[in-house]
Chain A
Amino acid sequence: MKARGTLAAAVASAGILLAGWQAGTQAGGASTLASGSNTTTAGSTGSSGTGTSGAGSSGSGSSGSSGSSGSSGSSGSSGGSSSSGSSGSSGSASSGTATAGTYQGAAVQTRFGAVQVQITVASGKITDVTALHLTDDDRKSIQISNRAAPLLRTEVLAAQSADVQTISGATVTSNAYLTSLQAAIDAANL
């Protein structure tokens, strides 16, 4: 009878761990792929498969943030999460139909609250991303200085699709360099 309890406990524990693992690999999928490919950045792109511009990147940004249990919090109000909501429609937009128009993503629950975004597509390209529901977590933005003002991630979307020749980030150690974006850029220019 004791064996029954032990067995049941083992099965239940294994089930719980498996569920956790599943949830983890789904949420952190993007970041796993990214760190897995250290030779080229293009590799991980293919697998994330979102295609067009900003939407894709921030989509993975959001999952990455929860995946890596993001220290610094990550993707605030609109950021990653917003675009993850829209990535579905952006995908369809880029996959050839290229219908101009405005699309609303589903409301996505992020670790910072509910976020819903609207994207505008013209001639097959995303021209605008607007957050419809920002999280109410703007406590910190209240104390905005008159010099540095809040910037929505969607505002910098255009910049992200541009090619860059170099990367700036918090100090990358030699070990981390191998999997960094800078390494991919350097490798391409060797």
Chain B
Amino acid sequence: MRTQSLPAPPAHNSPVRPGPSLRSGSVTPPAQYSSGWFGRQRRQRLLRADLLTVIAWGSVAAAVALWLADGGVAGVSSVAAAFTAAGIVAGLAGMDLVLLMLLLAARIPYIDRTIGHDRALEFHRKLGKPSLYLLLAHGFLLAVGYGMAEGLDPVSESVSLWQQVPDMWLAFVSMALFIAVVVTSLVAVRRRFPYEFWYVVHLLTYAAVGTSLPHQFSVGGLFAEGTWQRWYWLAICIATGAALVYFRVLQPILATSRHQLTVSRVEVEAPGVINIFMAGRQLDRLAETGGRFFIWRFLAPGLWWHPHPFSLSAEPAVTGPDGEGTLRVTVGNLGAGSAQLVRLRKGTKVAIEGPYGLLSTAARTRKKVVMIGAGIGITPLRALLETTPFAPGDASVLLRGHTEQELYLSSEILDLCRSRGVRLFHLPGPRSRIRSSWLPQEAVRGGYGLTAFVPDVAESDVYVCGPAGWADSVISDVRQAGVPEEQIHHERFDW
């Protein structure tokens, strides 16, 4: 174990410019980044999170209220009507959850800045099963309820609905698609299917939602023409669709055409790890994204359809008046899709989306900051370290890897730490089998834990970036050290 502690040096003494872009001089927090500023940012973020919670639950309540406002309860006068009513309510709530899922996956900046990309997707996943169950209940309860009212069994009733009621066959198709999407998603999670498979299955969701829409407006008595309920439902459907189109289609196209990125150079950083340099315009607009990630598509045959989520591993180096310059991503864990990136040709055009995620200054709540990274997870921390504001002595960086070579970009990070006054710990070696499995065996045996490296961790923002299992172990130690939840910033990096 090699440990380097670097006390704050006098500012402006770093002639070294590691990476393509490091600005000279250190980034000491300007006056506005006082502890009060961080506290305010924290309060605002929590307020936004509460607001999102209220909107989400409120929208479900509103869906049920639509039915209540239509005198729904008064209509429940028989067993059949009770089934029908329950079916209608289930359908309303289910569709509302589906819309929430779509919004959570729409990469809306407001949501991203508040709860982060991976937590948004976590909620998205959590809603998958409840919404499917509600939609299944919707179909089943209505078949039973209508069937009882007509004296048919649920199956005959379904056949009759399919044949006789307009748009209902589409609703059946939609139901089948929803089941297919959720089931394959669950299987895909367990079996660890490739990202591409996942992506294609999810495109089916749009077909499922699309085919479910007609019957809601043509058959649902609640949404008959001229009702305010119809306007409300139309409004939330259209708003969701618009958010998806704008943030997932339009924004990426705009960003891609704005920056006109092309690959300028690919170099090997370490075995299995490469740096990709790209040239483009208006790169100043991508500055200070810290550890946030972008979705990259390299527009070359066989590669263009594969989206890669990478962070910038350094601040963009801007050289021209129109933001012309270069930026860099560092890619490791070369999987099937990313292995081909080594052979990227100079001049290959690159599509970009983002930045997404909350691994950035926007998540800061405290004056002090701790960054803990492992493997390729080190690279986003490298970019964050470059720009996030702190005073000399207020930051600590812990880097993990099996070997010294796996501490990627370590020399650049060392230089950054020197110039900004950061405590830096290199923690190479095989992982510990007992306790704190995120630390090297050697450190644990020697009796070193998290607080031995960072005694003031409880008053710091802690950024964790690395493989999932490792990160879980870090986070559990961080919690034990008394760090409140809102100071822990983590984003999965292995998907």
A positions within 8 Å CB-CB of B: 1, 4-6, 8-10, 12-14, 16-17, 19-21, 23-25, 27-29, 31-32, 35, 66-71, 73, 110-113, 137, 173, 175-176, 179
Residues of chain A lying within 8 A (CB to CB) of residue B64? 17, 20
| Dominant secondary structure at the B interface | helix
Residues of chain A lying within 8 A (CB to CB) of residue B65? 16-17, 19-21, 23
Q: Are A9 and B54 in contact (CB under 8 A)?
A: yes
Return the contact of A110 from the options B61, B221, B226, B486 (Cβ within 8 A): B226
| B322 interface residue (CB < 8 Å to A) | no
Question: In the complex, how many angstroms separate the beta carbon of A11 from the nearest chain B beta carbon?
Answer: 9
Q: Are A69 and B226 in contact (CB under 8 A)?
A: no
Given contacts A4-B50, A110-B226, contact A67 B74 (CB under 8 A): yes
Q: Are A9 and B72 in contact (CB under 8 A)?
A: no
Q: Are B70 and A27 in contact (CB under 8 A)?
A: yes
Q: Size of chain B's interface in residues, with CB distance under 8 A?
A: 33
Chain A, residue nearest B221 (CB): A69
Residues of chain B lying within 8 A (CB to CB) of residue A111? 224-227
Residues of chain A lying within 8 A (CB to CB) of residue B166? none
26 pairs of residues in contact across A and B, judged by CB atoms under 8 Å: A5-B49, A5-B53, A8-B54, A9-B53, A9-B57, A12-B57, A17-B64, A19-B69, A20-B66, A20-B67, A20-B68, A21-B73, A23-B69, A24-B67, A24-B70, A28-B74, A35-B74, A67-B71, A69-B70, A69-B71, A69-B221, A69-B224, A111-B226, A111-B227, A137-B226, A176-B77
Mask of B218-231 contacts with A, CB within 8 angstroms, 1/0 = 00011011110000
Return the contact of A175 from the options B60, B73, B78 (Cβ within 8 A): B78
Return the contact of B71 from the options A16, A19, A28, A176 (Cβ within 8 A): A28
Chain A, residue nearest B64 (CB): A17
Complex CA distance for A112 and B486, rounded to whole angstroms: 51
Q: Are B46 and A25 in contact (CB under 8 A)?
A: no
Q: Are A68 and B75 in contact (CB under 8 A)?
A: yes
| B62 interface residue (CB < 8 Å to A) | yes
Q: Are B75 and A31 in contact (CB under 8 A)?
A: yes
Interface centre among A1, A69, A70, A112, by most B CB within 10 Å?
A: A69
| B58 interface residue (CB < 8 Å to A) | yes
| B236 interface residue (CB < 8 Å to A) | no
| B239 interface residue (CB < 8 Å to A) | no
Q: Are B74 and A24 in contact (CB under 8 A)?
A: yes
Question: In the complex, how many angstroms separate the beta carbon of A64 from the nearest chain B beta carbon?
Answer: 8
